[in-house]
Structure 1
Amino acid sequence: MERASLAGMPQELFDDVCSHLSQHTLTKLARASKTINRKVQNPLYYHCVVRDFRRLALFVRTMSDAAQCDRRGDVFSKNLYDLRLILDPSVEEGNRATAVVLGRMISSVARYCPKIRTHLVLKNATCNSQPISSFSIETFPRVISLILHTSEGVRASGSQRQRTQAVVYNSRVARMGHHRDGSNTSCRPRAEFWTGIFNGTSFPHLEEVEIIHERSGFFYSDVVIEAGELKGLQNIRRLAVKWAPELNSSVLTSALRCAPNLTHLELKFISGLEYSDLTKLIQFALPNLKNFTLWVWPDHDSARKHREDLRYVDPLQPSNPAGKPVHLCPLFRDFGKNTPHFDIFLPFVCRELFLTVAERIKIADADISFTVGTRDGGKSPVDKLDAAAIAAVVKEHRKLVEQARFQAAVKENMAAARKEGKDKLVTLAEYDVNQTNLKRERTIKSEKWKRTVRCGKRLCRSYESWEEMGVLAGLEEKNTTWVLGHERLDTAAVFTGGSPFPTGEKSYDQQFPMQNDSDCAARITALRVGGRDHGIDFNEHAH
């Protein structure tokens, strides 16, 4: 009987054992023997991380040395599936950090591994320098996701490179920091920046893009981009942009028209987006998204102006989505019903995020006072909110609305059956409608629908109560989680639809801890497989 050994272990079991080892350990294991070296190649190269241009050159050389030809004459190399390139052009010397060199090395790897999925991360890159400035003239095949951590780079007023300091922020710091004048920076809305990424030829397999820009100025200039210049957006599923001055309303409008498969959109502190343009964005994009994030600068001039104009609008009158003043809360209520996840951080929010016009009228007719808060929406020392009465009125009204909706759905179901030449009993039509409702309820529970709402300053109308927001969140659809936070009141709570009581109450900073915007650490960690780093040091790796 042969003695059991690691070398004699079946490949499937060997791969399972190797999945629990670090990449450094696998590299050492590959030196044990020729047999183990052959067996360890699959787990060793299946997921790789390369952290600079020098190691990328060594990696390409390794792939070239191991290249073989199959019976059909096709060239193949290591069984590489997932490659993550985390590169910092600012520390490279010579001509390595250029789009030409980077494109050729990525093309070489893709030629040897045609099914590879490459994730490209560029840290501390500048928008108007290599390699970003030459994306449009090169090809980067099999790059699935692109993460750009960019800065202003060269100022227009001089040739000396100047980088801004990394910003550690939360909403408090963001509120205190004012926009810088962008007249002397090279970062501004321009078509070349976006067409270089989304022209469809430079990154033909791109699915996810994340751009994190250091804080900069803001511009409202119109940018004209032809539809044919953004062909690459057809495959984009996720787009996340933070701070980038290259993005404004005209750029975003052109982009969304070319992105039919976009399901995940994040816009954080984009100064070039006017508050009035956000209404078009919400109505056009929100119903088609599965995940939407919108963080608006707390001191946004446009937001403050529209809130001041809102004082002269009767709260019991329906708002006009296309009119003025702009009011985003009812738009999120109407167009975000089927969006599983959204995270909004707005200077001003209010009860109209939950209540329709009819529900607000019912509360007013019941003689229930809702203007019982302070100017910021806190608890008034004199008046108290009648939460039980508000909940009873809203529940009763929604029950009647649901009954009317149910009857209309039954009639529509029976009418559809008659068009097909079938006769359907009322009970069967009611069963179909009930099943549709149950399916939605199960979907909400399985997908864990979550809505995060943060208020940066105060409520849309003075003297409304933030406490009422929590009451109304508990009346939303069953199993939907609502996370509410008010920065100035330093309060946050988590509510589950169908439950009148919060599941957790914390301070604002505890619920929304400070985040570091100086690197891509969180996103890079998300790209790791199995929670461990698979980086290879090609100085010590044996071919």
Structure 2
Amino acid sequence: MSQFDREPPASLATLPTEIADSIYYSLPPSSLCALARVSRDIYAAVQGPLYRRPVINSYRKLQAFIKTLNHVASWDKKTGDARSKNIVHLTLMIDPAKEESTAGRPLIAVILARMIRVIARYNEHVTISLIIAHSACDAQPVHSFESEEFPRVTTLILDLGGEPATQSPSSSGARSINSLLPVRRSIHQRNYNYSTSGIRCAPNAKFWTRFFNGSSFPDLRRLELHHRSRTSPSYGDSGMEGHRILFTELDTLGLARIERLVVNSVPEFNDSVLMAGLQHAPLLTDLHIENCAVTYDALDKLLLHALPVLHRLVLRVSPQSRFARHAREALNRPGRRPDHEEIPHLCTHFRQRGKNLKHYEFAAPYICRDLFLDEYEKAKLHESGHPGTLGGDEGGVVVQGELDTTLVVGVLKRIRQARDTDSVGQKLLEGTNMEEDRRILERERSMRTRRATIEKEGWTRRLHALDGMCISGDTFEELTALANVEEHGIGWTLGSLPERRAFRIVGDLIEPIRYSSEFERDRPRRARQVERDLNDELVGQ
């Protein structure tokens, strides 16, 4: 056999299209870019995977991306429609402070919106995640969002709270445009000035309507706002939580499409914004409220109405919250308050209405056994010899007595098993008709389906006590025992800051875990602590 009769060696270019495509679609963008330089054939083959889900992290790259789309665009002469590449999802990450320092001019909203509209024109079904880091409420491009339209942006993540850089006025008296730009703070720098001054960081309708009106972001589904100015111990005690904000009907049209809302230490967020969002967001199933100036009265109403429809809830109450302290004082002084006064007790809502949450996290200064027990179960435990409290201190640490976990687990298992079977057994003794039999079978089928769903989806709960228990004498050990007899298949993670202990409960197994690695982000931060760079965590939240 001559050398001319030999088959050429196997390569990507000679593989069947289906096999080559499966390889290309599994590779990261960096590998696809390297392959595109190998040959013209492979360059053409990787164009689909390479442009399917691009990630662009600078304005310069966005300009080059738009230039490429314009260069290879095809036009339909009859309809005038244009197509270029086949982009399914675009992730666009912009740091305005970095862009201004490299380009010498700010990235304004009108330019950013124009480029996004070009991408949307070429790909009518594309979805866009827009992430803006190290910005400020009163700086470009966030400041001018309400004046522009950003089509196909389904996810918007903003890292706010940067202080505008101030410069002395020029000789003509005009202030430099650079004075509106946020400062990019080094995460290694100490002695920051975290505060943000001015009306922009107080509750106001203008800040929210740009996100809620459905005009600036007509396709918005997920909104995340991370503010970085909150460090003062008095946060949430300024009285702004009672400042009423009025929205017109046009201001909240976009809320009808919001599915996920995250507000993290946002000074513009208060009770009235929360109530407006709750009333006009029927599709909202994923809600995160972290360290915001929201009263316990508002949270009480939120949990009452929202828990049955949410799939995921993260509620982190500031360690400095005076509302939590007031609620605890009222719970421990039942005879010293007017009869008509209702105590906003959040723990009971999770037990009564949070059963269908696939995941929830509750970090607050005070939590208690009402997360797990109703009044009937408390009475039965007391009849069985369980003391009302275990003599714990304010932090939930046992100072006298011991917890009889065998008693607690045994009593609760008997009570809950009886609840599931007594009604069925009674109906069988009394005699049932076909309709009642059908209901019994349907209930049993529903319970089996629920157990299978919980196991398949991996439902989880996280509880973190920052100061202690709601009721004096309750203990953290009891919470761990109660979580162990909750619904089978749900994973629990419990932590106590006063004791610096944490446990993970899966099935019948209680496993001690390291507190610092599991609950560090919920701890109160010291004033001089180095700030975490949120830009490192924004994607994939």
Q: TM-score, normalised by structure 1?
A: 0.84
State whether residues 263 and 289 of structure 1, in contact with CA within 8 Å, keep that contact through their aligned partners in structure 2.
Answer: yes
The 3 A distance-change label for structure 1 pair 277 and 144 is same
Match of 1:78 among 73, 85, 93: 85
Tell me what 2:528 maps to: none
Aligned Cα root-mean-square deviation (Å):
3.0
Tell me what 1:122 maps to: 132
Tell me what 1:52 maps to: 58
Match of 2:266 among 244, 247, 251: 244
Supply the distance in 2 between the matched residues of 1:378 and 1:312 (Cα, whole angstroms): 18
Supply the distance in 2 between the matched residues of 1:112 and 1:46 (Cα, whole angstroms): 13
Tell me what 1:386 maps to: 404
Tell me what 1:506 maps to: 513
Unaligned runs of 5+ in 1: 169-178, 315-319, 415-422, 528-543
State whether residues 291 and 318 of structure 2, in contact with CA within 8 Å, keep that contact through their aligned partners in structure 1.
Answer: yes
1:166 deviates by 7.4
1:7 deviates by 2.7
Aligned partner letter, 1:31? R
| Structure 1 residue 101 corresponds to structure 2 residue 119 | no
The 3 A distance-change label for structure 1 pair 287 and 408 is farther
- Where does 1:127-526 land on structure 2 (aligned, <5 Å)? 127-154=137-164, 186-216=200-230, 218=236, 219-220=240-241, 221-270=243-292, 272-313=293-334, 323-404=341-422, 406=424, 424=434, 426-496=436-506, 499=508, 501-502=509-510, 504-514=511-521, 517-524=532-539, 526=540
Unaligned runs of 5+ in 2: 169-174, 523-530
Supply the distance in 2 between the matched residues of 1:385 and 1:509 (Cα, whole angstroms): 25
State whether residues 54 and 89 of structure 2, in contact with CA within 8 Å, keep that contact through their aligned partners in structure 1.
Answer: yes
Aligned residues: 497
The 3 A distance-change label for structure 1 pair 6 and 183 is closer
Tell me what 2:527 maps to: none
State whether residues 391 and 400 of structure 2, in contact with CA within 8 Å, keep that contact through their aligned partners in structure 1.
Answer: no
The 3 A distance-change label for structure 1 pair 16 and 452 is same
SS at match of 2:308: helix
State whether residues 152 and 186 of structure 1, in contact with CA within 8 Å, keep that contact through their aligned partners in structure 2.
Answer: no
1:155-187 deviations in Å (ceiling 9; x for gaps): 99x98667596789xxxxxxxxxx998775631
Supply the distance in 2 between the matched residues of 1:446 and 1:154 (Cα, whole angstroms): 48
The 3 A distance-change label for structure 1 pair 166 and 238 is farther
State whether residues 372 and 379 of structure 1, in contact with CA within 8 Å, keep that contact through their aligned partners in structure 2.
Answer: no
| Structure 1 residue 63 corresponds to structure 2 residue 84 | no
1:491-538 deviations in Å (ceiling 9; x for gaps): 1111235x2x41x212321322448742232332x28xxxxxxxxxxx
1:222-271 deviations in Å (ceiling 9; x for gaps): 1111232111111111111100111111011011111111110001111x
State whether residues 410 and 433 of structure 1, in contact with CA within 8 Å, keep that contact through their aligned partners in structure 2.
Answer: no
State whether residues 50 and 86 of structure 1, in contact with CA within 8 Å, keep that contact through their aligned partners in structure 2.
Answer: yes
1:17 deviates by 2.2
SS at match of 1:342: strand
Aligned partner letter, 1:133? H
1:36 deviates by 2.4
The 3 A distance-change label for structure 1 pair 477 and 254 is same
State whether residues 163 and 196 of structure 2, in contact with CA within 8 Å, keep that contact through their aligned partners in structure 1.
Answer: no
The 3 A distance-change label for structure 1 pair 376 and 261 is same
Supply the distance in 2 between the matched residues of 1:410 and 1:262 (Cα, whole angstroms): 42
1:408 deviates by 9.2
The 3 A distance-change label for structure 1 pair 182 and 67 is closer
Aligned partner letter, 1:10? P
Supply the distance in 2 between the matched residues of 1:382 and 1:458 (Cα, whole angstroms): 16
SS at match of 1:257: helix
1:312 deviates by 1.8
Supply the distance in 1 between the matched residues of 2:277 and 2:364 (Cα, whole angstroms): 23
Which shifted more, 487-496 or 6-15? 6-15
Which shifted more, 105-114 or 360-369? 360-369
State whether residues 52 and 87 of structure 1, in contact with CA within 8 Å, keep that contact through their aligned partners in structure 2.
Answer: yes
Supply the distance in 2 between the matched residues of 1:31 and 1:163 (Cα, whole angstroms): 39
| Structure 1 residue 19 corresponds to structure 2 residue 25 | yes
The 3 A distance-change label for structure 1 pair 312 and 381 is closer
1:48-102 deviations in Å (ceiling 9; x for gaps): 1111112211111110011012475421111222211110111223555111000
Supply the distance in 1 between the matched residues of 2:427 and 2:186 (Cα, whole angstroms): 55
State whether residues 152 and 163 of structure 1, in contact with CA within 8 Å, keep that contact through their aligned partners in structure 2.
Answer: yes
State whether residues 395 and 467 of structure 2, in contact with CA within 8 Å, keep that contact through their aligned partners in structure 1.
Answer: no
SS at match of 2:537: helix
1:348 deviates by 0.4
Supply the distance in 2 between the matched residues of 1:334 and 1:323 (Cα, whole angstroms): 21
Q: With CA pairs under 8 Å and 6+ residues apart, which has the higher RCO, 1 or 2?
A: 1
Aligned partner letter, 1:519? L
State whether residues 167 and 214 of structure 1, in contact with CA within 8 Å, keep that contact through their aligned partners in structure 2.
Answer: no
1:194 deviates by 1.2
Tell me what 1:171 maps to: none
The 3 A distance-change label for structure 1 pair 410 and 312 is farther
SS at match of 1:363: helix
State whether residues 456 and 488 of structure 1, in contact with CA within 8 Å, keep that contact through their aligned partners in structure 2.
Answer: yes
1:436-481 deviations in Å (ceiling 9; x for gaps): 1111111111121111111000101122221111111111111111
1:43 deviates by 1.5
Supply the distance in 1 between the matched residues of 2:90 and 2:325 (Cα, whole angstroms): 46
Tell me what 1:175 maps to: none
The 3 A distance-change label for structure 1 pair 15 and 180 is closer
Supply the distance in 2 between the matched residues of 1:109 and 1:410 (Cα, whole angstroms): 65
1:132 deviates by 1.0
1:364 deviates by 2.0
The 3 A distance-change label for structure 1 pair 225 and 292 is same
The 3 A distance-change label for structure 1 pair 393 and 465 is same
Which shifted more, 67-76 or 34-43? 67-76
SS at match of 1:231: helix
State whether residues 410 and 429 of structure 1, in contact with CA within 8 Å, keep that contact through their aligned partners in structure 2.
Answer: no
Match of 2:49 among 34, 43, 46: 43
State whether residues 291 and 317 of structure 2, in contact with CA within 8 Å, keep that contact through their aligned partners in structure 1.
Answer: yes
The 3 A distance-change label for structure 1 pair 84 and 350 is same
Supply the distance in 2 between the matched residues of 1:152 and 1:323 (Cα, whole angstroms): 41
Tell me what 2:94 maps to: 87
State whether residues 316 and 364 of structure 2, in contact with CA within 8 Å, keep that contact through their aligned partners in structure 1.
Answer: yes
1:391 deviates by 2.2
1:372-395 deviations in Å (ceiling 9; x for gaps): 243145553541122222222222
State whether residues 196 and 229 of structure 2, in contact with CA within 8 Å, keep that contact through their aligned partners in structure 1.
Answer: no
SS at match of 2:319: coil
The 3 A distance-change label for structure 1 pair 408 and 103 is farther
